[in-house]
Structure 1
Amino acid sequence: MTGLRHRRSWVVLIFLAVVAALAGTVWRYGYLQALEQLARRAEGDLALASDRLSTELQVYQELAVLLTDHPMFDALDDPARRVAAQAQLLEVADKTAALDVAYADLSGRVLVSANGLTPEDVSGTAYFRRALQGALGSDHGVRAPLNRRAYYYAAPTFDATGHVRGAVVVVADVASIELAWPGNAPAVFFTDVNGEVFITNRFELLFWTRPPGGIGLVPPDGPAPEFRAAQTGVHEIWNIRWGPYVPERALHLQRHLPIVGLTGEILVNAAPARRLAWLQSSAVAAICLAFGAMLFLATERRRTLAQANAVLETRVARRTRALSEANALLRQEISERKEAEAALTRAQADLVQAGKLSALGQMSAGISHELNQPLMAIRSFAENGTEYLARGRADKAGENLARIADLAHRMGRIIRNLRAFARQESEDVRQVDIVAILDSAIELTGARMRQDAVTIRFVRPDRPIWVRGGDVRLGQVFVNLLTNAADAMEGRDGKTIEIEVAETGPLRVIIRDNGPGIDVPDKVFEPFYSTKEVGASEGMGLGLSISYGIVQSFGGDIRGENGPDGGAVFTVQLEPWQAEQAA
């Protein structure tokens, strides 16, 4: 008994260790997936902020260029013309919100200024020296007499001989550009070549600089706050305590802006990604523990019944030996009863165990694999709908909501079909359009294909082609084939999937890719056979096995082979729909 308890304790400990390892794997995978989605949104936010900054500054750049040919800069030696030119420049500055607009001669002396905020001599500035070379000059910084953050543009003016005779200087107020940014946007800041934060929507980070190590930021004065950087997959995560409006755990991305001479950087809160990963791993651990508890109780019950049966057999044998000499007929009846009871007990135990294992196999083999594609599409349409609502485009948001409702209805049909397939039931064979089913599969996998830069070439017939089958399950077959082709071509250039409907001879749907091909074509339709790496998305090895069963249930056939030019070729043969068959 002690040895049995010891073995049971080891089994429980091993099971808990496996569950912990599985939950950790799910957490890691879910966290990386969530960070990938967060990075895509952060890249969009950073691109939007960078484009907004470039557009704002471009207004002042174009203003400087447009003013170079203005006649008000002619004959500024006349005091009256200077007064008139100053009035015109003041009007331009007021209309464009520029801090100052000025004109300097060839020596760098400012002859006229809208607000008088430009230094009287700009000959030593980099932007003016660039303008003297006949090109557009630009610079930024905090300089007297402004003592404010400003961006400078200098455009050269030319005389009748084509020589530079001066420059138009336009000074942009950086603070006014920052005030126009949304207040609920992630933390964005722009650093110059010296690593100093010059523009940001978090004013507490203003003038922070990059330390000598090249990672993070330190304030211009005072001690450096806590900072740690970690690499999670391909993503850089910063653990910081820089203020109440900067996330403590943030995903860091950057983008170079050579046009304005700055580098845009963004910090996006990574806490939601961790919460989602914990939720997924907790759900997997809870399911595994529940299954383990049920299996443990079933095993304990079976062991108890076996012990009781052994005790009963011992007692019956003892009594049988006592009565065997008295009545041979009674001995025979008792022996037959013992055999019947033992056979019944074994049959009941085997039937209960087989039923539980069968139900478990049916549920785990279908639901997680079949619902992933519609769920990904629903999530994509939901994100698009949210974005359209934010932009005030209710009609487009309504279209996305309608597609979500359609996909939810389709998921319900998929669940019913999976239940029927798991019970070895068949969906009613009816007339379906294989062209429409292929269009639906291509649309369902469109986001994945665009993300992986996969080109789908579908030689689409210009009319419906009717076959015997079910639209939901046939659609899932082609979704599985398309996603498997995309997975096989991962890391390659020029990824292409070709789809052809051949009507000569047996009706066939041919799907080709330019991936590495199939290692063992004879095993590709076996359950749990997969060439994907452990932990890879959808790498359970059930997709092609389920697809094979679906096509077989409709009287068709599916086979996979390697093409003559490389890549995999899957051929799905289906039975055409004929009126006499329907009759």
Structure 2
Amino acid sequence: MASLSDSHPGLPRLDRRRLLFAAIAGALILLVAALGLSRWAAGHARTQADADARQNARAHASLLESELQKFRLLPRVLTEFPDVRLALADKSAAASRRLDRELEQLAERTDAAVIYVIGADGTTIAASNWQAPTSFVGQNYRFRPYFRGAMQRGEAELFALGTVSGRPGLFLARRVAAGGRALGVIVVKVEFDKLEAKWTDSPATTLVTDDAGIVIMTSEPGWRFRSFGPISPATQQRLRGTRSYGDAPLAPLSTRQADGDVRIVEGASATLYRQAAQRVSLPGSRLHVLQPAQPARDGANATARVLFLILLILVGAAILALLRLVERQALRHAAHVALEREVAARTQELRGANAELQQAAERQAETDRRYRAAREELAQASRLGSIGQITAGVAHEINQPLAAIRTFAENSLRYLERAQPDKARGNLDHIVDLTARVGAITNELRNFARRKPTPLGPVALQSAIEGTNLLIGDRLRAQGIALDIAIDDQGLSVHADRVRLEQVLVNLLQNAADALQGRDASRIALRVHGRNPVFIDICDDGPGIAADLLPQLFTPFVTGRPDGLGLGLAIASDIMGEFGGTLSLIPSPLGGAGFRLTLRPA
């Protein structure tokens, strides 16, 4: 009788080959996975860095455009300013000195670096810095391109280094004319130190280049007035002739660019960036954001290493399981062959013992089957796992009720001087609440990139008026002004945005309080009535509004106060327009001024 060993002599060698093939296959899988994960990590890092760079570029460009739009309106308004025309036409020292003081006050209010007026011959006749050692008065700027451009084309812009102050800034120039004759130029110089400081909060490096590739604004001070690439001798000669950048060497940055990567070498070190560019409204200028590539690479490589480690564990576990299976099959095969040989050598009398051994083998097979089933269930349970990634991005800017915070802080100082710490503590609690509100409002300013407003929706008028009273109530009480609030329907809601609605109410109440300054037993009435539309009337018993201001009451820079800027009612009117409502002047039943807000019900 032929034995089982004789009929299957190559089975153990076949199992060893299968194990060897499995090990080679596992090694190949790991090699391919390592190469694939390496390429994935590199691509993912570039994609992530590019996305961060584009987001930062949009946000930083939005901040820059906001600053530019704020100041570009100023020269246009000042060309119509009577004292500017008078000083240029009269050319008297008295008119120029009076204009000096007016420009000085306007520069302080608007945060402009310098505002100055240049005569037709290029000589500065009045400036906001007339008292400073670096005064522009008497300086001749006929050589400046912004002066020549404004005189020829009506307006011009130039980013340059100040020849007197030595500080860089944007010069916004506009021609002043009368009767078709050019009288001179009004110039507003804007410096961007605060904006560049905000840019430094980002891990990326932000810079703005002009049409020649010169870095004019940057969050890296050492790069200012260096070229972002090689510039021709002719361009250098042209820039020297205009003295736009003084004696700056205009040396190029040591950069190498390839496939979207920008490598900047400084000394013995080199930093790799991903670049995003955004056009800005400065003539010929672009905003560049250089996002460091290394943090994104480190993150992607860490993820790739984790994935490779998981795959390594799975492949190792599979090979180990196969090894154990091969070992069990080899042992089972060897035992089976030995048993067959022993049975063949025994006599017929040992058949009973052989039958018992056969039953034992069957029981062993059943035990082995149950073991395999239990092992499969355990393997199924071990495959239950998940890996999550959470990403979040944050870019921010706030400009909210700082006047109320300052008022509470000043009152707190007075209470502390009067040894009234409880009242001071109350004011500090209000400041904490207002700071929390500022934090909530930053969610609306976020996205400079972004930066869309909070969607309009239902706003409870009762709650909005209470919030307004929180901001302005202390001032009214300090002036002895009685605020009468009457709401016909306490549960009324309107279609608006609460923060901006409170801004309108605070502005109107502040205007009323200013008008009632120095008057005794004054009153302000706030009444909510109507349902569709909803009306909010704010009236006072003050002197009212001068008749000559009525035709242009909601026009920017029109004000009846000597220290006023004339923007409050214009902004309030614009906000009401965004709500789909209106802001209008009405007769006051108290004898003073009256305003009506018309809103849609929610």
Please give the per-residue CA displacement for 1:60-86, whole angstroms capped at 9, x wherever unaligned: 322222211112231332232222223
> Any idea what SS the aligned residue of 1:248 has?
strand
Deviation at 1:46, TM superposition (A): 2.6
Does the CA-based 8 Å contact 1:128-1:154 persist in structure 2? yes
Separation in 2, partners of 1:45, 1:95 = 30
Q: 1:102 is matched with which residue: 113, 116, 119? A: 116
* TM-superposed deviation, 1:39: 4.0
Length-normalised TM-score, structure 1: 0.54
**Alignment match of 1:172 (pick from 190, 193, 199):** 190
CA contact (8 A) 1:20 1:285 kept: no
Q: CA deviation at 1:38?
A: 4.7
Contact map agreement 2:226 2:252 (CA 8 A) in 1: no
Q: Tell me which amino acid in the other structure corresponds to 1:152.
A: F
Contact 2:37 2:308 in 1 (8 A): no
CA distance in 1, matches of 2:288, 2:207: 5
Contact 1:76–1:111 (Cα < 8 Å) also in 2: no
Deviation, 1:18, is: 0.9
User: Aligned partners of 1:317 and 1:108: how far apart in 2?
Assistant: 118
Matched with 2:290 is: 267
Letter in 1 for 2:205: A
Q: CA deviation at 1:133?
A: 4.2
Structure 1 residues 347, 281: closer, same or farther in 2, change over 3 A?
A: farther
Q: Deviations over 1:179-227 (max 9, x none)?
A: 465545532111111111111111122222122499xxxx9578965x5
Q: Comparing 161-170 with 31-40, which one deviates more in the overlay?
A: 31-40
Give yes or no for contact 1:23–1:284 (8 Å, CA) kept in 2.
no
1:125 to 141, 144, 147: 144
Q: For 1:532-551, what aligned pairs fall within 5 Å after superposition? A: none
- Secondary structure (helix, strand or coil) at the match of 2:136 reads coil
Distance, in Å, in 1 between the alignment partners of 2:101 and 2:291 is 46
Give the corresponding residue for 2:67: 56
Note if contact 1:313-1:338 (Cα within 8 Å) is conserved in structure 2. no
Structure 1 residue aligned with 2:95, among 58, 81, 85?
Answer: 81
Output the CA distance in 2 between the equivalents of 1:307 and 1:82: 108
Equivalent positions of 1:538-577 (< 5 A) are none
Residue in structure 2 matched with residue 194 of structure 1 by the alignment: 212
Match of 1:11 among 1, 9, 22: 22
Give the direction of change, closer, same or farther, for the CA distance of 1:243–1:2 in structure 2 (3 Å limit).
Answer: farther
Q: CA deviation at 1:152?
A: 0.7
The corresponding residue for 2:482 is none
Quote the Cα distance in structure 2 between the aligned partners of 1:157 and 1:223. 39
The reply to whether residue 204 of structure 1 matches residue 234 of structure 2 is no
| 2:156 maps to which of 133, 137, 140 | 137
Paired residue secondary structure (2:90): coil
Q: In 1, distance between residues paired with 2:55 and 2:68?
A: 20
Q: Is 1:237 paired with 2:257? A: no
AA aligned to 2:345 is: A
Structure 2 distance, partners of 1:86, 1:117, is 11
> Which residue does the alignment assign to 1:577?
none
Q: Against the structure 1 CA distance between its residues 173 and 385, is the aligned structure 2 distance closer, same or farther, given a 3 Å change threshold?
A: closer
The answer for the alignment partner of 1:154 in structure 2 is 173
Secondary structure at the aligned position of 2:76 is classed as helix
Distance in 2 between the 1:257 and 1:276 partners?
Answer: 32
In structure 2, the residue corresponding to 1:144 is in which secondary structure? coil
Kindly indicate whether the alpha-carbon contact (under 8 Å) linking 1:110 and 1:120 is maintained by their aligned counterparts in 2.
yes
| Residues 182-581 of structure 1: pairs in structure 2 closer than 5 A | 183=201, 186-212=204-230, 225=254, 227-231=255-259, 236-242=260-266, 248-259=271-282, 261-325=284-348, 327=349, 330-331=350-351, 333-334=353-354, 336-337=355-356, 339-340=358-359, 342-344=361-363, 352-353=371-372, 356=375, 360=379, 375=388, 379=390
Post-superposition Cα deviations, 1:442-499, rounded to whole Å, max 9, x if no partner, equal: xxxxxxxxxxxxxxxxxxxxxxxxxxxxxxxxxxxxxxxxxxxxxxxxxxxxxxxxxx
Higher relative contact order (CA 8 A, sep 6+): 2
Query: Is the counterpart of residue 47 in structure 1 residue 78 in structure 2?
Result: no
Secondary structure of 1:204 counterpart:
helix
Aligned length: 372
- Cα distance 1:16–1:221, how it changes in 2: closer, same or farther (>3 A)? farther
Quick one: distance in 2 between partners of 1:213 and 1:68? 37
**Separation of aligned partners in 2, 1:314 and 1:185:** 72
* TM-score of the superposed pair, with normalisation by structure 2: 0.52
Given residue 84 of structure 1, which amino acid in structure 2 is its aligned partner? Answer: R
Which residue of 2 is the match for residue 528 of structure 1? Answer: none
- Greater CA radius of gyration, 1 or 2? 2
**Does residue 65 in structure 1 map to residue 76 in structure 2?**
yes
Amino acid at match of 1:85: L
Match of 2:559 in 1: none
| C-alpha distance in structure 1 between counterparts of 2:380 and 2:281, whole Å | 58
- State whether residues 176 and 186 of structure 2, in contact with CA within 8 Å, keep that contact through their aligned partners in structure 1: yes
Cα distance in 2, alignment partners of residues 130 and 387 from structure 1? 35
Distance 1:58 1:221, change over 3 A: closer
SS of the residue corresponding to residue 45 of structure 1 reads helix
Gaps of 5+ in 2: 1-11, 130-134, 233-247, 399-434, 444-602
Q: 1:393 and 1:25 mapped to 2: Cα distance?
A: 49
C-alpha distance in 2 between matches for 1:92 and 1:292: 74
Q: Could you tell me how far apart the structure 1 residues matched to 2:396 and 2:28 are?
A: 41
In the alignment, structure 1 segments of 5+ residues that lack a partner are: 400-583
